C-alpha cells in the first residue's frame, strides 16, 4: 500500500475523484505513455523511420501486460526514468518491434507529452465542472435575487445585501475562470518532441514533420519548438487550478461561517449516514466547506512549486522537472476533488431565508445606518453626518433613530422623525438585485456562445 | 528614511525602476487616490448627487497640498485607512466642497479602483517591456540561428544545439506572456464601487449609473457587480508577473552558468565603472543575471500571498485585502525591476561563438553520441545500439568512434569506419535552425497584428 | 518617499513598530554598519594591522555625516553594494585613516555581521514581548480558570470548555516559542569574517585571531568557520518569527470569530478616536485581530524565501543572499508589529462571561451530549450509545434528554430520568481547570528560572 | 494503484526510503493507530474505565486483520475519519470488547498521538542519518584539509579555498541541525488526549491521570494540556526537516556544479547499471545531486503548509488539521529520501584533487588577486590598491603581476618584482585549514558527548 494518506484506501476519496484518479493512477499513466509511444510509432512508420508492422505491434501493447515488478526493478537498477519501462515493453513486444519502440526520443518527450494529455483531460473536467458549478450558482443567484440578509464585513454584520448577490459574485468569479481556461487552452495543449537536447538531431531532416505528425497522433498541438526547459505552460495551468481551488474555498468559507448555529443562515446538506462527531452526537459539521479550504491550501502550495520550476537551466533541468512530477498531478487531483465537492456543496446548499431575515432584523437598527447616513448626509453633509452618527451609535448603542431623536437632531429641524423612519426602512437591496441581473444576463450569454466541451473549441485540429 | 532596504536611498534601484516607483511612491499613490475621488465627484455631479462646483473643487485638489503629518496622525488616531486622508482633504478644500468629497464610498472603492489603475499602469509597462525584450531575443535568435554550441542537460554538455534555439525558446516563452497579458487585460482593468457591503445602498436607484460613470471617469471598465471579496483578478495579475519574473530568471540562470570562465560562452556587458569585487579585483560577476533570480524568488513569494488572499470571507475581509496592499505593489515593483534588468542583460549580452565552438569541439566526441546512436540504431536496432554505446563510452571514455572500432563493430560488418565518421560529423543543428525560423515567423506575425500599446486595444472604451 | 506602502508615512505604523523601525531604518542600518567597521578597525589596530589612530578615526565616523546622495550615486555607478559607502566614508575620514577603513573584508562580512546584530536586537525585543504576552495570557487564564463557554469545533458549538483553557493553550504555545528563542540564540548570534571566499587569505596567519577579536568587539560569538553560504541560521530565525506571527494570528482569529455580534463573547478594546467604518457608523470591527492574520501571511511568505535561500552555491551566492536582504528585515518588522499588536489585543481584551454562559445555555442541551454519551455508554456500551444518541439528535433536534425519554430508553430500565438529568448537568469543566493550573505552574516555574533579558543569558561572552 | 507518482511502483524509491515508507504505509499507519488504541485501552483498564479483558482483546487486534474494503466503505458512508475503522475493529474484536475500543476519544486523539509517534520514528531516523552524514563530511573535511581549489563566488572562480573547508562548512551546518533536533525533541514528542473539545469532560475526574498513563503507554510525554489547535510542534518539526532537506540540496548543488565536465572537480559515484541518458550514451549525470534539489523544493512547500496551519480556530479546525495529514508525512518522506540519497552521495563522492589544482592553476593568476591586493595594500593603501588592480585587470586581463610591472608600479618603487611574485605564491589556505580543525574538534566533542540514539536521551521517561 502507498505511503501517502492522500492515496490511501481509507481516505483517497477526500483527495481526488475517481474520474481524475483514473487519469493519474499508475496503470492509467502507463497506458497513456504507451499510447504516446504508439502515436510516435505510427508517425514514425508513416515517415518510413520504422516499419509499419512494428508500429502496429507497439500500438497493440497494453500497459496491463507489463510485468510491473520487472519494470520497477529495472527502473531502480538503471536509475533511469523510463529504461525500466522500455525493457518491460520489449518483453511484451514481438521480436521485430522491440528495437522500434521509444525510437529516438527521451523521457521528457514521453512525460511532457503526457503532461499535455493530462492538461487536456483535466482541463476538460475542470471546464465541465466549472460550468456546472456556475449553472448551480446562477440558479442560486436567481432564486435568491431578493433574499435580504446582513452583509458582513470584518466578520461583523453591516448593511443589507442579498444572498443572490453573494451567489452572483461567486458565479462571476467562476466565469472568469472559465474564460481563463478558454484563453489558455491552445497555449497548454501541446506535445513535446525534443530528443536529447531539443534540437532533434537524431531524426535528421524528418524531425519537424515527425513532430507535427506525432502531436496530431496524440491529439495535441505542435509547439513548433522544443520546450524542455520552458515550463510556463505547466506553471500557468497549475496556478489557474490553484485559483479555482481558491474560489471554491471562498465559497466554503462562507458556508462554514454562516452555518454557525449562532448565525444559522446556511447549512450543508447532510448526507444520510454521515456522522459529524462520535463524541458529540448532536454535531452537524460543515466538513465539506472546511475541506475545500484544506484542498486549496495544498493546491496553492503545489502550484508554487510549479512556478518555481520555471527557472530551469540549460536544455534539461531535472531539479525543476522532477518536482513537476509530484506537483502537477497533485494540483490537478486536489482541484478536481475540490470541484466535485464544491458542486455537491452548492447543489445541496440549504439557504434559510427566515434566519437571514431574523438576523437582519436582530441587527437591523444598526444595519440601517448606511441608509440613515445617506439621508442625514443630504441634510447636514456627509462627514458631519458620519461624525454625528458615530457618536450616537457609540453612546446609545444600536438604534440610530432613537439616538438622533434624543439628541434633538429631529427637533432642530434637520430631519423629521418621519424622515428618520423612512431612512430606516430596510433593506436597501434594489441595486444588489440589479447586479444579480447583470451577472445572470452576461453569464447566460457567454454560456450560450461557448461549447459545452472544452476541447471541442480547439483551433489547432 | 524607510525601514525596507528595498526602498532605501542606496539600494532602491535594485528593487524597482524609477518609472514604476513613480506609480507606487506615496505622493503618486495619493495623487492617484485624489484622481479617483475626483472621478467620483465628477460622476456624482453629473448625476446631481453633489454640486458641480464641489466636483470642480475636488478635482482641483492635489496630493502635494496635503499636510502629510496631519494625514498620518489622523490615520493613526482613527485607526481608519482613509479618514486621515479625508480630514486632510477637507483642510485643503473650500468649505462648500468639504462634505462632498469621498461621498458615500468606502476605503475599498478607492483602493481597489487604484488597484485597477495600478494594473493598467504596470500592465502597460510590462507589455512594452515584454515586447521590447522579445524583439531583442528575436534578434539574438536570428543572429545566432546557426551558432552551434553544446546543449547541456543536467548540467552536462550533450548533443549540439544552437544559441539561436536557446534565444528562440526564450522569445517564445515571452510571447506567451504577451498573449496572457492581452487575454487578461479586460478581466483585470475594472473599477470598484461597492459602498459599505457591495450592495450600494447609499446611492439608491442612481447607484448602477454612478458606477458606470465613475469607472469611465477613471478609465476602467465597469465590473457590473461589486468584487469586494472576489480577488481573483489581483491574484491572476500577480501570478502572471511572477511568471514573467520567472522567465527572466531563467534567462539569467543561463547567462550565470555559461558565463563561468570554465565555460565562457556568454558574458554580461560590463558597465563602465562597475566593480565586481573589491577583494578580488579580477572578478567580473554576472550580477545582473544573479539578481534576476533574486527578484523572481521575491516576486513568487508575494504572488503566493495574493492567491492565498482569494479565500476571502463575507463582504469585506481585511485579512486578505490588507495583505494585498503589501504584496501587489511588491510583485509589480520587483517584476518591473526584473524586466528592466533583463532587457539590459539581453541587449548587452556578449555571445562568444568561438568559445561555443571550442567547447563543442572539446566535448564533441561524446556529444556526437546522439548521432552515432541514430546511425548505429539503423543497423542493429535502437536499444541494442544504446546498450553497446553505453558500454563503449563507459569503458573507453569520450570517443565512441574509436570504441566502436576497437570493439570490432565496424569489422563485424555492422558499420564501416566511414559510417562512424559520417555519423560523427557535427553538429546536427538543421532542425534547430528550422525551429528558430518557426518562432521568428510567428512572433513577427503576432507582433505585426497587435498594438504596440497595451491599453490601446481595450474593447471597453 | 518610498514606494512600499509598508513604509509609507500614512501606514508604516501597521507594518512595524517604531522600536524595530529604529533597527532597520536606513540611517540606523548604516550606523550599525559603521559600528561594525569600527569594531573591525579596533580589532585590526590591536593586532597591528592598521594604525590605532586610524581605528580611532574610523570609530568616530557617524552615519549621519555621510553624504547619502553621493553614497547612493557611487553605489549605482559601481554596481557594488558597499563601494559607495566606502567612498562616502573616505570623504568624512581624515586622510590618514582612509585606506584603513573596510580593510580586507567583503560586503558579506559587514552585512552578515549586521544580520547577527539584527537577530540580537530583534530577538531581544521578541523575547521581551513574548514573555510579556505570556504574562498577560497567564493572567487571563487564571482569571478565567472557571469561566465556562462552549467549545467550538469545525465552527460549531460543542461540549463546554473554559476561557481559561483557551488562554492557557495560547500561553503554552507562547512558552514554547520562548524556549525556541532560548535554544536558538547561541546558534544565531555570530559574526562573519570570511573575506573574499571564506578562507581569509588576505590576513595571513592573523586571520583567526582577528575574527575572534572582531566578533567580540561587535558583541557576537565567533562562528569558528566562515558561513558565507551556510544560511540555516537566517532561515531558522526567520521561520521562528513566522511561527510567532502564526501564534498571534491564531489568537487574533479566535477574537475575530468570537467578536461576531451573533456570538459576542470577546471584543477588542476600542481605542478612543477609532472609527471602524465611515459608511456604517455602528460598526466596531476587530481590526487588530484581523491585522494579525495579515501580518502572519506576509511573515510566512518572507520566511519561506529564507528557507529557499539555504540552497546556496559555492562560496557566495547572490541569488539567495540578496533575497535575504529583503526578506529578513521584512519578517522581523512584521513579526515585531504583530507582537506589539498582539500584546495590546490581549491586554485590552474584553471577555464577556455572561455571553459565554448564555451561549452555553442556548446550545446547552446539545452541548451536554458528550456527558450524556459518557453516562449512556456506561449502561449500554459506547458505540451503541453513540449510535442511539446520533439518531435521537438527528430526529428530535437538540434535546437528548427528551429524545431518550421519548424513545423509552429510560422506561426500558437502561437509565432513569434522573440519570439523564444528572448527565446533563453542565458544564464538565473540572479537567479544563486542572489543565490551566498545570500550565500556570510550569510557566511560572520556567519564568522564574530564566532571565528577563534574552542576551543576558548568553554563554559565549 | 495509487494516483500519486511519488507512491508509484516505478518511482516510489525516489520519494521515500523503505524504512520511512514502513512508517507511513497504510497498514503500518493503521497498526500504529491500533497500538495507540491498545495503549488507551490498557490505561483505561488500569483505571477501571473498561474491563481488563477488553483491553487485552483490543491490544491483540491487528491492523492486518481488518477488512479494508469494509473500513473504507464505512469511512465514505459516514463521512467520518475513524468510524469506518471503529466498525472494522468491532468486527474483529470479541463481543465483550467491542464497546470498549476507542472509548471516549476523538479522531485527533488518535491521529495527533500518531503524529507524536511519527515524529519520534522519523526524528530517530533523521538523527541517525544526520550524524552519519556528519561523520562522512568530517572524514571528507579531514581528508581534504589541505586540498586547494578555487573558491567560487557568483559562479566565478576567485581566491583559493580548500575542499576541506567546503566539507567542514557542510558538516557544521549539519551539526546545527543535530542540535536543533536535540533541542526540539521534548517539545515535539507528546501524546494527545483531548476528547471532544480538549476539556476531557467524558472521563470526569480520572481524565488527567488517564492522559498521563495513556501517554506513557505509547511512549510519549504528557503534554499537560490539550493541543488540538496548537500546531506549532508540527510546524516546527516540519520546518526543521525542510531545512535539513535544504542543506542536502546545498551539498547537491555544489556537486552538480563542480561535476560539470568543464570544471570536473567532483563526481557522483556511478552505480553499476546506471544509465544517465539513452539518447546520449556518453552522459554521466549528477542525478542524485539534482534530485536533492527537487526533494528540497517539495519539502519546503509542504512545510509551508504546516506553518500556515498554525492559525487554527476554536477547539478543532479541520481546515488546518487535515492539511497536515497530507503535508507532514510528505515532508517526512521527502526529507528521509533526501537524507538517504545525501549520505550515499557524500560517501561515494569522487574528489578530483588534480582537477582542482589544475583549475586553480588555470585561473590562478587572477585568483591570486586577493593576496596581491593585500600586499599592495600594505604599500599604497587598500582602496588605492583596489582601484589600481581593478584597472590593471580590466585592461590587461588575468595577470596582475604583469599588469603591475607594465604600469610601472614596480619600477616606481612601490613594490619590487620579487614582492609581486611572492604575493602571487598560491594558495593562501592556511586559515582554511585552521577552520577545518576547529570544526572537526568541536564536532567530535559534541558527538562524543551525545547519545547515538535520539530517543535514548529523552528526559521525560
Look at residue D198 and tell me whether its pLDDT is greater than 90: yes
Mean pLDDT score, A291-297: 98
Other beta carbons less than 10 A from residue A412's beta carbon: 9
Mean pLDDT score, A91-115: 96
Q: Do D176 and C187 touch (CB under 8 A)?
A: yes
Query: What is the sign of the dihedral through the CA atoms of B116, B117, B121 and B127?
Result: positive
Q: Considering just the CA atoms, what is the radius of gyration of chain A in Å?
A: 29
Known catalytic residue: D154? yes
Residue A310 inside a domain? The answer is: yes
Q: DSSP 3-state helix, strand, coil percentages of chain C (rounded to 5)? A: 65, 5, 30
More confident of the two residues C395 and D252: D252
* pLDDT (0 to 100) of residue B331: 98
Residue A400 inside a domain? The answer is: yes
D chain contacts of residue A12, beta-carbon cutoff 8 Å: 2-3
- Please report which helix (H) or strand (E) contains residue B97, including its range: helix B95-98
Look at residue B382 and tell me whether its pLDDT is greater than 50: yes
C165 and C91, same structural domain? no
Q: Which domain holds residue B377?
A: 363-424
- Closest residue in D to C243 (Cα) is D307
**Per-residue confidence at A461, pLDDT binned at 50, 70, 90?**
very low
* pLDDT (0 to 100) of residue A69: 96
Give the C-alpha distances (Å, rounded to integers) separating A286 from A264, A291, A293. 12, 9, 11
Q: Do D247 and C152 touch (CB under 8 A)?
A: no
Helices (H), B99-147: 107-143
Q: Do D260 and B256 touch (CB under 8 A)?
A: no
Question: For the residues of D322-334, what is the DSSP string, one character each?
Answer: HHHHHHHHHHHHH
Q: Do D155 and B286 touch (CB under 8 A)?
A: yes
A179 and A316, same structural domain? yes
- Closest residue in D to B264 (Cα) is D262
Query: What is the sign of the dihedral through the CA atoms of B164, B169, B172 and B178?
Result: negative
Residue D203 inside a domain? The answer is: no
More confident of the two residues B283 and A72: A72
Other beta carbons less than 10 A from residue B293's beta carbon: 25
Q: Do A26 and D2 touch (CB under 8 A)?
A: yes
* pLDDT (0 to 100) of residue C428: 81
Q: Write the residue in D257, D276, D280 that is nearest to B370 by C-beta.
A: D280
Q: Do C232 and D173 touch (CB under 8 A)?
A: yes
A118 and A165, same structural domain? yes
* pLDDT (0 to 100) of residue A203: 93
Q: Considering just the CA atoms, what is the radius of gyration of chain C in Å?
A: 29
Mean pLDDT score, A155-166: 95
- Closest residue in D to C154 (Cα) is D317
Look at residue D145 and tell me whether its pLDDT is greater than 70: yes
Mean pLDDT score, C122-145: 98
| Side-chain half-sphere CA neighbours of C23 within 13 A | 22
D chain contacts of residue B358, beta-carbon cutoff 8 Å: none
Q: DSSP 3-state helix, strand, coil percentages of chain D (rounded to 5)? A: 65, 5, 30
Residue D356 inside a domain? The answer is: no
Please give the grid coordinates belonging to residue B99: 462634505
Q: What is the pLDDT of residues B172-181, one digit of tens each?
A: 999 999 999 9
Question: For the residues of D198-260, what is the DSSP string, one character each?
Answer: SS-GGGGGGHHHHHHHHHHHTT-B--SS--TT--HHHHHHHHHHHHHHHHHHHHHHHHHHHTS
Q: Write the residue in C99, C249, C308 that is nearest to D382 by C-beta.
A: C99
Q: Of D70, D100, D130, which residue sits at a domain end?
A: D100
Least confident stretch, B128-142, C277-291, C307-321: C277-291
Residue A164 inside a domain? The answer is: yes
More confident of the two residues A455 and D58: D58
B125 and B177, same structural domain? yes
Residue D202 inside a domain? The answer is: no
C316 in Cβ contact with D255 (< 8 Å): no
- Tell me how far the alpha carbon of residue A281 is from its chain's centroid: 33
Q: Write the residue in C12, C275, C304 that is nearest to B80 by C-beta.
A: C275
> Mean pLDDT over all residues of chain B?
92
More confident of the two residues D188 and D368: D188
Look at residue B460 and tell me whether its pLDDT is greater than 50: no
A285 and A229, same structural domain? yes
A chain contacts of residue D196, beta-carbon cutoff 8 Å: 277, 279-280
> Mean pLDDT over all residues of chain D?
92
* pLDDT (0 to 100) of residue C1: 56
**Per-residue confidence at C386, pLDDT binned at 50, 70, 90?**
confident
For residue C324, what is the domain's CATH number? 1.20.200.10
C135 and C73, same structural domain? no
**Per-residue confidence at A460, pLDDT binned at 50, 70, 90?**
very low
B244 in Cβ contact with B335 (< 8 Å): yes
Overall domain count for chain B: 3
Cα–Cα dist D96/C168, whole Å = 39
Mean pLDDT score, C331-340: 98
Q: What is the pLDDT of residues C230-248, one digit of tens each?
A: 999 999 999 999 999 999 9
Backbone angles phi, psi at A119, to 5 degrees: -65, -35
Which residues have C-beta within 8 Å of that of residue A136, sequence separation ≥ 6?
A343, A346, A347
Look at residue A402 and tell me whether its pLDDT is greater than 80: no
**Per-residue confidence at C176, pLDDT binned at 50, 70, 90?**
very high
A259 and A243, same structural domain? yes
- Tell me how far the alpha carbon of residue B406 is from its chain's centroid: 53
Please give the grid coordinates belonging to residue A13: 476519496
CA C183 to chain B, closest CA, distance in angstroms equals 28
More confident of the two residues D387 and C356: C356
**Per-residue confidence at C396, pLDDT binned at 50, 70, 90?**
low
Q: Of D59, D77, D100, which residue sits at a domain end?
A: D100
Q: Which residues of B touch D (CB under 8 A)?
A: 153-159, 256-257, 259-263, 275-287, 290, 359, 363, 365-367, 369-370, 373, 386, 389-390, 392-393, 398, 400
- DSSP three-state, residue D134: helix
CA D55 to chain B, closest CA, distance in angstroms equals 46
**Per-residue confidence at D419, pLDDT binned at 50, 70, 90?**
confident
* pLDDT (0 to 100) of residue B461: 38
C385 and C308, same structural domain? no
Is C308 exposed, middle or buried, given 0-12, 13-18 or 19+ CB atoms closer than 10 A?
buried
* pLDDT (0 to 100) of residue B391: 78
- Write down the catalytic residue from B13, B96, B277, B422: B277
Q: Write the residue in D99, D173, D438 that is nearest to C230 by C-beta.
A: D173
Q: Write the residue in B236, B313, B432 that is nearest to A257 by C-beta.
A: B313
Q: How many CB pairs under 8 A join B and C?
A: 224
* pLDDT (0 to 100) of residue D115: 98
Mean pLDDT score, B65-90: 95
Mean pLDDT score, B27-52: 97
Known catalytic residue: B277? yes
* pLDDT (0 to 100) of residue B397: 59
Taking alpha carbons only, the member of D434, D433, D377, D430 closest to residue D400 is: D377
Residue C57 inside a domain? The answer is: yes
Name the neighbours of D, counting chains with at least 3 Cβ pairs within 8 A. Answer: A, B, C
More confident of the two residues C109 and B423: C109
Mean pLDDT score, D270-296: 84
Look at residue D318 and tell me whether its pLDDT is greater than 80: yes
- DSSP three-state, residue D350: strand
**Per-residue confidence at B212, pLDDT binned at 50, 70, 90?**
very high
Q: Do D155 and B370 touch (CB under 8 A)?
A: no
D111 and D33, same structural domain? no
Q: What is the pLDDT of residues A360-389, one digit of tens each?
A: 988 866 566 777 888 888 888 888 888 888
C436 in Cβ contact with C164 (< 8 Å): yes
Which residues have C-beta within 8 Å of that of residue D55, sequence separation ≥ 6?
D38, D41, D42, D44, D45, D97, D100
More confident of the two residues D345 and C411: D345
Q: Of A54, A85, A100, which residue sits at a domain end?
A: A100
Q: Do C383 and D161 touch (CB under 8 A)?
A: no
- Write down the catalytic residue from D79, D154, D282, D383: D154
Name the neighbours of B, counting chains with at least 3 Cβ pairs within 8 A. Answer: A, C, D
* pLDDT (0 to 100) of residue D461: 38
B148 and B49, same structural domain? no
Which residues have C-beta within 8 Å of that of residue A313, sequence separation ≥ 6?
A229, A319, B152, B155, B250, B253, B254, B257
- DSSP three-state, residue A235: helix
**Per-residue confidence at B399, pLDDT binned at 50, 70, 90?**
low
B chain contacts of residue C12, beta-carbon cutoff 8 Å: 2-3
Q: Do B242 and A434 touch (CB under 8 A)?
A: no
D399 and D250, same structural domain? no
> Mean pLDDT over all residues of chain A?
92
For residue A86, what is the domain's CATH number? 1.10.275.10
Least confident stretch, A185-199, A211-225, B376-390: B376-390
Cα–Cα dist C437/C444, whole Å = 11
C262 and C131, same structural domain? yes
Q: What is the pLDDT of residues D60-95, one digit of tens each?
A: 999 999 999 999 999 999 999 999 999 999 999 999
> Mean pLDDT over all residues of chain C?
92
Look at residue C455 and tell me whether its pLDDT is greater than 90: no
Which own/partner contact pairs does C409-416 have at CB distance under 8 Å and 24+ positions apart? Answer: C409/C376, C414/C376, C414/C379, C414/C380, C415/C375, C415/C376, C415/C379
Please give the grid coordinates belonging to residue B371: 548521432
* pLDDT (0 to 100) of residue B308: 98
Query: What is the sign of the dihedral through the CA atoms of B247, B249, B252 and B256?
Result: negative
Query: What is the sign of the dihedral through the CA atoms of B65, B70, B76 and B78?
Result: negative
A363 in Cβ contact with A150 (< 8 Å): yes
* pLDDT (0 to 100) of residue C410: 65
Look at residue A410 and tell me whether its pLDDT is greater than 90: no
Mean pLDDT score, B434-461: 86
Question: For the residues of C321-332, what is the DSSP string, one character each?
Answer: HHHHHHHHHHHH
Residue C211 inside a domain? The answer is: no
Amino acid at each position: 500500500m502507498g505511503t501517502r494518506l492522500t492515496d490511501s484506501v481509507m481516505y483517497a476519496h477526500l483527495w481526488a475523484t475517481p474520474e481524475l484518479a483514473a487519469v493519474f493512477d499508475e496503470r492509467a499513466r502507463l497506458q497513456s505513455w504507451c499510447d504516446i509511444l504508439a502515436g510516435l510509432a505510427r508517425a514514425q512508420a508513416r515517415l518510413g523511420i520504422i516499419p509499419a508492422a512494428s508500429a502496429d505491434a507497439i500500438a497493440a501493447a497494453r500497459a496491463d501486460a507489463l510485468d510491473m515488478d520487472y519494470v520497477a526493478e529495472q527502473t531502480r537498477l538503471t536509475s533511469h526514468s523510463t529504461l525500466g519501462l522500455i525493457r518491460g515493453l520489449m518483453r511484451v513486444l514481438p521480436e521485430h518491434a522491440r528495437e522500434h519502440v521509444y525510437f529516438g526520443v527521451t523521457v521528457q518527450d514521453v512525460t511532457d507529452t503526457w503532461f499535455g494529455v493530462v492538461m487536456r483531460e483535466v482541463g476538460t473536467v475542470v471546464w465541465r465542472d466549472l460550468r456546472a458549478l456556475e449553472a448551480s450558482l446562477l440558479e442560486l443567484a436567481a432564486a435568491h435575487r431578493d433574499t435580504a440578509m446582513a452583509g458582513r464585513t470584518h466578520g461583523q454584520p453591516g448593511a443589507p445585501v442579498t444572498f443572490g448577490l453573494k451567489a452572483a459574485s461567486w458565479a462571476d468569479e467562476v466565469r472568469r475562470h472559465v474564460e481563463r481556461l478558454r484563453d489558455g487552452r491552445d497555449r497548454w495543449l501541446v506535445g513535446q518532441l525534443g530528443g536529447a537536447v531539443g534540437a532533434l538531431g537524431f531524426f535528421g531532416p524528418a524531425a519537424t514533420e515527425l513532430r507535427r505528425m506525432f502531436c496530431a497522433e496524440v491529439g495535441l498541438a505542435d509547439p513548433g519548438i522544443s520546450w524542455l526547459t520552458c515550463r510556463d505552460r505547466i506553471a500557468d495551468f497549475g496556478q489557474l487550478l490553484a485559483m479555482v481551488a481558491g474560489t471554491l474555498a471562498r465559497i466554503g468559507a462562507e458556508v462554514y461561517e454562516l452555518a454557525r448555529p449562532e448565525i444559522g443562515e446556511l447549512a450543508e446538506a447532510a448526507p444520510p449516514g454521515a456522522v459529524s462527531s462520535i463524541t458529540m452526537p448532536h454535531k452537524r459539521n460543515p466538513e465539506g466547506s472546511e475541506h475545500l479550504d484544506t484542498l486549496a491550501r495544498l493546491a496553492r502550495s503545489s502550484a508554487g512549486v510549479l512556478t518555481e520550476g520555471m527557472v530551469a537551466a540549460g536544455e534539461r533541468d531535472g531539479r525543476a522537472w522532477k518536482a513537476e512530477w509530484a506537483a502537477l498531478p497533485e494540483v490537478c487531483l486536489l482541484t478536481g476533488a475540490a470541484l466535485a465537492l464544491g458542486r455537491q456543496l452548492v447543489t445541496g446548499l440549504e439557504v434559510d431565508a427566515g434566519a437571514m431575515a431574523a438576523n437582519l432584523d436582530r441587527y437591523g437598527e444598526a444595519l440601517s445606518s448606511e441608509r440613515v447616513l445617506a439621508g442625514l448626509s443630504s441634510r447636514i453633509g456627509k462627514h458631519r453626518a458620519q461624525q454625528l452618527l458615530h457618536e450616537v451609535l457609540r453612546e446609545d448603542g444600536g438604534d440610530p433613530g432613537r439616538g438622533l431623536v434624543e439628541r434633538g437632531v429631529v427637533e432642530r429641524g434637520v430631519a423629521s422623525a418621519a424622515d428618520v423612519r423612512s431612512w430606516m426602512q430596510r433593506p436597501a437591496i434594489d441595486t444588489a438585485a440589479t447586479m444579480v441581473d447583470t451577472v445572470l444576463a452576461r453569464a447566460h450569454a457567454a454560456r450560450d456562445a461557448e461549447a459545452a466541451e472544452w476541447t471541442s473549441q480547439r483551433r489547432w485540429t
